[in-house]
């Protein structure tokens, strides 16, 4: 990605108390430094007030897409913040994602994906909401969006809140649809996040919905993204595909009228370059050529696996649930697989 003429700014960030870790089982392994060697990203306490010893950061402006790269005192990248997007990629302790039920592939990453309260724009580093947010989350190892997304694959532990509502655990795609029989595989009834939860929901666009008991514990590809980014992450959700302040219902709706910054524009064919992608980006696919150019599948980009292949996570019919494995098609977006060939667009929320 080409860099524009950098405009550098400095800011001393007043630190807040570190937020308590949530009671959520991790589906990945954190890589710690050997005993006797402190890992500053994971264990260094945040200063309680700004002084001469408080962390100083540099904010460099880059293009393609327009974004700000936050660097620490050593010049290392602390965060990447994209104009118009709430998604922040923070640098933290290295960890490994695995899904042994479906693939031998492993993803080792130090990227932690979180949602900021507001979209980023140049100069936001001067605003108090950002300095407070960054101080609270820069060193946090509480589950981020990537870790949360892994809480729904096969083998993940079931989690319930204090009211007994299950909010995490293995998800299916949905029950079989007796009226659908597309060539090449089973057809299952689509399921949104409220079906997984088994609770009624009222959307801000005034749509009221009731869960179908037969779809309890199920999410289709867009329902899965809405579960992770919306219900768990706090992004607003809509009940339809209309334009509004939140994520529309379907993959095509999120791609065409939903919020976010295009990082791979839809040009009607497989993109030739993937260099603009970063972990947490939403990927959109045209896997069913019978419905024209409509985008019918979506997933979450995880990054490169240990063999250097870009992988994503999505809920799919053939696997009957979320996976970044290779059941029913390789989860790589390079090569010659079904998803690599049908990738059309990518957005950063």
pLDDT digits (tens, 9 = 90+) for 201-229: 999 877 899 999 999 999 999 999 999 99
The torsion region of residue 136 among left (phi > 0), alpha (psi -120 to 50) and beta comes to alpha
Beta pairing class for 159-160 and 106-115:
unpaired
The whole-number average pLDDT for the span 19-37 is 37
For the chain, give the percent of residues with pLDDT over 90.
Answer: 73
What are the C-alpha distances in Å from 31 to residues 44, 101, 110?
A: 15, 22, 9
Q: Do both 171 and 272 map to the same domain?
A: yes
Q: Do both 234 and 139 map to the same domain?
A: no
The whole-number average pLDDT for the span 248-271 is 95
For residue 33, give its domain range.
9-143
**Residue 1 resides in a domain:** no
Answer with the one of 94, 116, 143 that is the final residue of a domain. Answer: 143
Tokens of residue 141, six digits:
């190892």
* Overall domain count for the chain: 2
The residue ranking higher by pLDDT, 33 or 220, is 220
Q: Which of 33-42, 54-63, 262-271, 299-308 is least confident?
A: 33-42
> Alpha-carbon distance 115 to 86, whole Å?
5
> Alpha-carbon distance 311 to 330, whole Å?
9
Can you spell out the DSSP letters for 193-225? HHHHHT--EE-TTS-EE---GGGTTB--HHHHH
Tokens of residue 287, six digits:
């896997």
- Using an 8 Å Cβ cutoff, are 260 and 246 in contact? no
Q: Do both 123 and 160 map to the same domain?
A: no
**Residue 3 resides in a domain:** no
* Per-residue confidence (pLDDT) for residue 327, from 0 to 100: 83
The whole-number average pLDDT for the span 162-179 is 91
Q: CA-based angle 60:19:140, to the nearest 5?
A: 45
**Residue 132 resides in a domain:** yes
> Alpha-carbon distance 233 to 144, whole Å?
8
**Residue 2 resides in a domain:** no
pLDDT band at 112 (very low <50, low <70, confident <90, very high): very high
Q: Do both 334 and 236 map to the same domain?
A: yes
pLDDT band at 181 (very low <50, low <70, confident <90, very high): low
The whole-number average pLDDT for the span 241-246 is 89
The residue ranking higher by pLDDT, 222 or 101, is 222
Q: Do both 49 and 27 map to the same domain?
A: yes
What pTM was estimated for this model as a whole?
0.84
The residue ranking higher by pLDDT, 293 or 218, is 218
What are the tens digits of pLDDT across the range 113-141? 999 999 999 999 999 999 999 999 999 99
Q: Do both 67 and 129 map to the same domain?
A: yes
């Amino acid at each position: 990605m080409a860099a524009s003429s950098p405009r550098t700014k400095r800011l001393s960030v007043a630190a807040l108390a570190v937020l308590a870790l949530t009671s959520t089982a991790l589906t990945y392994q954190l890589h710690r430094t050997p005993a006797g060697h402190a890992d500053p990203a994971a264990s260094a306490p945040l200063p309680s007030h700004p002084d001469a010893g408080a962390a100083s950061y540099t904010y460099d402006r880059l293009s393609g897409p327009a974004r700000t790269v936050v660097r620490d005192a050593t010049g290392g990248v602390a965060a990447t913040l994209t104009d118009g997007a709430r998604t922040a990629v923070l640098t933290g302790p290295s960890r490994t994602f695995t899904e042994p039920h479906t693939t031998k592939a492993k993803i080792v990453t130090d990227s932690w994906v979180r949602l900021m309260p507001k979209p980023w724009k140049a100069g936001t580093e001067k605003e108090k909401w950002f300095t407070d947010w960054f101080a609270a989350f820069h060193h946090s190892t509480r589950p981020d969006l990537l870790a949360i997304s892994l809480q729904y694959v096969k083998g993940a532990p079931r989690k319930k809140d204090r009211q007994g509502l299950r909010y995490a655990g293995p998800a299916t795609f949905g029950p079989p649809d007796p009226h659908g029989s597309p060539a090449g595989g089973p057809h299952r009834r689509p399921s949104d996040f409220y079906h997984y939860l088994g609770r009624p929901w009222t959307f801000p666009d005034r749509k009221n919905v009731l869960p179908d008991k037969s779809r309890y514990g199920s999410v289709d590809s867009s329902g899965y993204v809405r579960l992770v980014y919306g219900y768990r992450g706090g992004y607003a959700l809509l009940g339809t595909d209309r334009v509004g302040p939140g994520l529309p219902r379907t993959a095509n709706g999120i791609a065409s009228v939903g919020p976010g910054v295009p990082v791979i524009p839809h040009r009607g064919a497989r993109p030739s370059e993937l260099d603009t992608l970063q972990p947490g980006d939403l990927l959109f696919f045209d896997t069913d050529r019978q419905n024209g150019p409509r985008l019918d599948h979506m997933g979450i980009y995880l990054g490169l696996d240990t063999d250097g292949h870009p992988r994503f996570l999505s809920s799919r019919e053939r696997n009957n649930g979320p996976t970044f494995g290779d059941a029913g098609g390789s989860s790589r977006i390079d090569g010659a697989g079904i998803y690599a060939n049908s990738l059309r667009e990518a957005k950063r929320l």
